[in-house]
Amino acid sequence: MAWSVTSYDVMKELLVDPRVSKDAYRHWPAWIDGKISPGWPLAIWVSVQNMVTAYGSDHARLRKPVAAAFTRRRVAALRPRIEALIGGLLDRLASLPPGQPVDLRAEFADLLPSEVVCELFGIPEGTRADLHAIIKGFFHTSCTPEEAEANGRRLYVTMAELLAAKRQSPGEDLTSALVAARDEDEGTVLSEKELIDTLILLFTAGYETTVNLIGNAVYALLTHPRQLSLVKSGGATWDDAVEESLRHEAPGANAVLRYAVEDIAIGPVTIPKGDPIVISFAAAGRDPDRHGPDADRYDLTRENRGDHMAFGFGTHHCLGRQLAMLEGSLALEALFGRFPDLVLAHPGRVPAPLESFISNGQRELPVLLHGPVREASGPASAR
């Protein structure tokens, strides 16, 4: 059993409360006592030891070497490369046979953050496909215990091979920088497992959430044409569209897990010491107490559209927020600029959601790049 938190205000309170931990090795009795099977699909989210699962001084120690990679200046410097990647992907889409549905998730939303992350971390071409498949398995929380364990083993083998390659041939990338920080300080900054788990965190957070951000935003705009017209006419910005999409459909639905370090009283409810807690980021964006009775409505002019938990809050807030926002806004502007008649291939049909307790997006997003195909009429059609 775990406590699910769906109130925006309660989340903000708990996410800065020192009585709430993310360290299962110290504060979750069921994990400490070995009662949780390694085949549990969410086990990998609990077992990793990085800044997201750290508590207290360990969190500060593990976060520091990563924070330097995500300063505003560094993210801004990535803009030309991101624009170039987007341009190449749109050229690829434009070369596809006209009139045929295109899965925009697979052919665009998935590819952009994947390329950005791989370049940022210097992932060799030969490793990218395997790592991509493994990370997808990381979010597939309805898999079998056997699949979960096998994917976990593949993940650590792949990461060990990557670190060995970087130690032999370091480059100007974040992986090489973290390896150097760990080796130069002989493990005082990061242990080997912490190094691997930190990279796992950065790959997954930098990839999957941005895929969902782009996919969710495109779907929301296509199903709300007045909102799309508003941003096209300059009545709202693409940043507004990103913020409202993050509020309306958080890319990460639930965050697992946190633990009560001691009994925590919240109004009439007490979360007992040691109990696990799930933070529902998706629920925060739809909380009527925060966003009013129309919280379910997609509205780019909503004054508090930025009041969401899509990037967390408090000490564990996402370092990659600026990068994700930049990728999302650039991707939307370029996509709708290149294909102004873009429509859903199956209007009225809600795309199937991902089979995940954590990741919130579509399995596929079929679109028509140039609008609906119109049959010829009149004399020409007889020929």
List residues bridging with 278 in a β-sheet: 4
DSSP letter for each residue of 261-292: SS-EEETTEEE-TT-EEEEEHHHHHT-HHHH-
- Please give the pLDDT value at position 142: 82
Distances (CA, A) of 54 to 126, 263, 317, 336, 373: 32, 20, 13, 41, 53
**What pLDDT shows up at residue 188?**
65
Six-digit token string for 383: 């020929």
Over residues 337-346, mean pLDDT: 96
* Cα–Cα distance measured from residue 52 to residue 67, given in angstroms and rounded to the nearest whole number: 13
**Higher pLDDT pick, 205 / 244:** 244
What is the C-alpha separation between 168 and 131, in angstroms, rounded?
Answer: 20
CA dist 299 and 314 (Å) reads 26
Q: Which strand (E) or helix (H) includes residue 257?
A: strand 254-260
Helix and strand numbers (H, E) in the chain are 18, 9
Q: Which of 3-7, 205-209, 229-233, 337-341 has the lowest mean pLDDT?
A: 205-209
Angle (CA) 196-188-318 rounded to 5° is 50
Neighbours of 326 (CB within 10 A): 21
74, 114, 172, 354 from 123: Cα distances, Å: 19, 10, 11, 26
Task: Kindly state the DSSP code that residue 353 receives in the 8-state scheme.
Answer: B
Residue 312: phi and psi, rounded to 5, are 75, -165
Pick the range with the lowest mean pLDDT from 11-15, 99-103, 133-137, 217-221: 133-137
Query: Is 132 in contact with 114 (CB distance < 8 Å)?
Result: yes
| Per-residue confidence (pLDDT) for residue 333, from 0 to 100 | 98
* pLDDT at residue 275 greater than cutoff 60: yes
Asked whether 149 and 140 are in contact (CB, 8 A), the reply is no
Count Cβ atoms below 10 Å from residue 285 Cβ, excluding itself: 24
Which helix (DSSP H) or strand (DSSP E) does residue 103 occupy?
strand 102-103
pLDDT at position 39 is: 86
- Pull the structure tokens for residue 319: 């370092």
User: pTM of the full predicted structure?
Assistant: 0.91
With a pLDDT cut of 70, the percent of the chain lying above it is: 96
Q: In the chain, what is the greatest distance between 2 CA atoms, to the nearest angstrom?
A: 80
